[in-house]
Structure 1
Amino acid sequence: MVAWTREDSDGAAGSAAVSGFVHDGLFFDSPDELVAVAAPFILDGLAAGDAVAIAVSSQNSGHLRKAVGDDPRVVILDGGGSYHSRAAATIASWRRLAARRAAEGFGRLRVIGEVDFGSTTAEQLEWQRYEAVINHAFAATPLWGLCVFDTRRCAEPVLSCARHTHPQLVDAAGRRANPAFVDPARYLGALPVPVEPLEATAPRLVAEDVSDFVALRHTVQARLAETGGPADLLEDFLLAVDEMTSNALRHGAPPVALSLWTAPGTVVCTIRDAGAGWADPFAGYGPAHGEDLSRGGMGLWLARQLCDHVVLRRDEHGASVRLTSRWA
């Protein structure tokens, strides 16, 4: 079993002495290897005054619970439920949990996490982005993440992502700097844009030069209602469309255009304008002005939580945002 030193990546002794994020990766190929590293991580955290959350598969959480006992400071979360279908929502939920634990007097929140990267290219890219983004999004959060990857089950793109997005790696020999770690902004910039097949078909609605925002909203709402999709999902999607159209009208450059596609179980909307768009690769993974929500800057952040996939693009004609939501 690895002997954790209660030092973070900057060498500061004592978990409670440090307020920022630590992001470690663990590759394992057996339950014994997982337990040999993760159990000491949990026990060391309890000794340091930290809270612990385990968000892994039910099988792996059983192995860890057996190894560390029933300490009430260790919370077992459903692995799939802890990582929402949307990365921005997952980031928000972990921030809230870390804040609650800090208010309760704990040092860090230690998380053993096992992300389900999904089965589609779009899902895998969403979670690849997540692993890179949290290095920035959690920078000031009292959270120590130990992300675990089962090399017997994870596809190579997932393992490659893990190798490039974790500043430190850990195994039975201890923790070490990861020489394959890539600057998160550079990593995000190199990720491809997932193809949305509906964009190659005729749109259900096209507005080439948006001037009457209210009338357009009513038209989009009517087209969405025709899909027969879940009312709450369609309401969320409409709100995201509203936010992104309003953002383009306020901050972009004319003309603002909108295209809407619908198909059984899927809605896609692209909003375009002639402006420069977002230069920040981390845009929308938190409110633009931090905790001061009164200053606005929440449009893209809301869209990332309300839609399954949000894609930002720029070309010589301007900028666009593509929103996608699906239901069974």
Structure 2
Amino acid sequence: MRTGAAAHHHGYYHEAVRYDSDDELLAVAVPFLLGGVEAGEPTFVALGERTGELVRSALPAGSGVEFLPGGDVYARPAAAIRSYRQLLAEQVAAGAGQIRIIGEVPPVSFGATWDWWARYESAINHAYDDFPLWSMCAYDTRITPPEVLADVARTHPRFATPDGRHVPSPTWTPPREYLRQGPRVVPDPLQAQPPAVELADPTAAEARAAVHKADQGQVPVVDLEDLVVSVSEIVTNALRHGRPPVRLRVWAGDDRIVATVSDGGEGPGDPFCGLLPVSGGAPGGLGLWITYQSCNHVTWQRDDGGFTLRLTAGKAYTG
């Protein structure tokens, strides 16, 4: 049985909270969370350290609200979707008629890596619609850039307000439409320099060797090996499913390695490709999904010249 504003809603009830003071955040979060506990619903908080402690201190002792490690949950978009879907499935299997979650994307993501978090906020309207979830995504307007707030309005069907209302977003855009639009990709400054390695129509083995060649110990070994596998997967996809020529470029910085794979095709047709495992065995879908969970930032661009994926290992440029 569903309760509150989502009482008569089927599937995912997705809201954003725009607040400009701590009191405004608490005015929305505390009734939302205590209402879930009172209704016997699994109720979770996945906020950052400061806002999480703010909410925790405002709740009564032994409230029954469970706190998730927000920084871990929101490490990478595809991984966040996978872990949340697992959590939601477990709660439904245990008999939950509704689950409540309030969370926030880390503010560090509001810079050059915002493009894939904007896509995350859009994609979860579809990814979580199998579950009786009511969630709120909190955004502090004091530190959130206007362009990010514009995307928040487009990716959330409604807003929860401090005075208890739940109002539709006038610029809400369904995910299939939103995700087909090209994201705003911020160039990595490394790309202003000549690449350390550039190959045309490389084999998967040559692509792996190119990444190893660019490595000078600037990224952890685990991150390097993840990038090696990801570049190999993406080059293989481009050779099999794209259009020639396929080009691999690799740049090496002090704290990251950036690789781009381009081909003359249009890229994946499924708008959720990368963020969700593609159903029906679509070409390249599983490899891109794995890549999104392995690299610290993945972007895509589609233009007259074809399709380009950019993969970053190490400390992603945040702008």
Same fold, TM-score > 0.5, yes or no: yes
Q: Which of 273, 292, 300 is residue 312 of structure 1 equivalent to? A: 300
**1:148 matches 2:138:** yes
Task: State the partner residue of 1:8.
Answer: 6
Question: Which residue is 1:263 aligned to?
Answer: 253
Q: 1:274 to 1:163 in 2, by over 3 A?
A: closer
1:25 and 2:16 matched:
yes
Q: Deviations over 1:54-109 (max 9, x none)?
A: 0123343334334443447421123323211x211112121121122222322333
Residues 298 and 175 of structure 1, relative CA distance in 2, 3 Å threshold: same
Matching residue of 1:169: 159
- Judged with a 3 Å threshold, the aligned counterparts in structure 2 of structure 1 residues 224 and 74 are, in CA distance, closer, same or farther, namely farther
Query: Relative to 1, partners in 2 of residues 1:223 and 1:57: Cα closer, same or farther, differing over 3 Å?
Result: same
Report the secondary structure of 1:122's partner residue: coil
With over 3 angstroms needed to count, the CA separation of the structure-2 counterparts of 1:309 and 1:180, relative to structure 1, is same
Choose the corresponding residue for 1:77, options 60, 68, 71. Answer: 68
The one-character-per-residue Cα deviations of 1:140-160 (angstroms, maximum 9, x if unpaired) are 233221112223333323322
Distance 1:226 1:59 in 2: 36
Q: Does 1:157 align with 2:147?
A: yes
1:195 corresponds to: 187
Q: What displacement does 1:31 show?
A: 3.0
Distance apart, 1:234 and its partner CA: 0.1
Residue 301 of structure 1: aligned partner: 289
Q: Cα deviations across residues 186-237 of structure 1 (Å, max 9, x unaligned)?
A: 4441532221222232111121122x433x0452243144344210010111
Structure 1 stretches lacking a partner, 5+ long: 13-17
Report the CA distance between 1:5 and its aligned residue: 5.5
TM superposition shift of 1:285? 0.5
What is aligned with 2:107?
117
Cross-structure match for 2:315: 327
Q: Is the 8 A contact 2:34 2:63 kept in 1?
A: no
* Partners of 1:123 and 1:32 in 2: CA distance: 29
Post-superposition Cα deviations, 1:212-264, rounded to whole Å, max 9, x if no partner, equal 433x0452243144344210010111111011011112222333221111121
Over 3 Å counting, the alpha-carbon distance change for 1:315 and 1:159 in structure 2 is: closer
Following the alignment from structure 1 to structure 2, what is the Cα–Cα distance between the partners of residues 241 and 313?
A: 16
In the aligned structure 1, how far is the partner of 2:183 from the partner of 2:291? 20
Number of residue pairs aligned between Structure 1 and Structure 2: 313
Q: Which letter maps to 2:139? A: F
**Alignment counterpart, residue 231 of structure 2, candidates 224, 241, 255:** 241
Match of 2:37 in 1: 46
CA distance in 2: counterparts of 1:274 and 1:160, whole angstroms:
32
Give, in whole Å, the separation in 1 of the partners of 2:295 and 2:5. Answer: 38
Identity value in percent: 37
- Name the residue aligned to 1:181: 172
**Is the CA contact 2:30–2:59 (under 8 Å) kept in the aligned structure 1?**
yes
Q: Of residues 119, 130, 140 in structure 1, which corresponds to 2:120?
A: 130
Unaligned runs of 5+ in 2: none
* Shift in alpha-carbon separation, 1:316–1:159, aligned structure 2, 3 A: closer
Contact 1:289 1:296 in 2 (8 A): no
Query: Is 1:209 equivalent to 2:201 in the alignment?
Result: yes
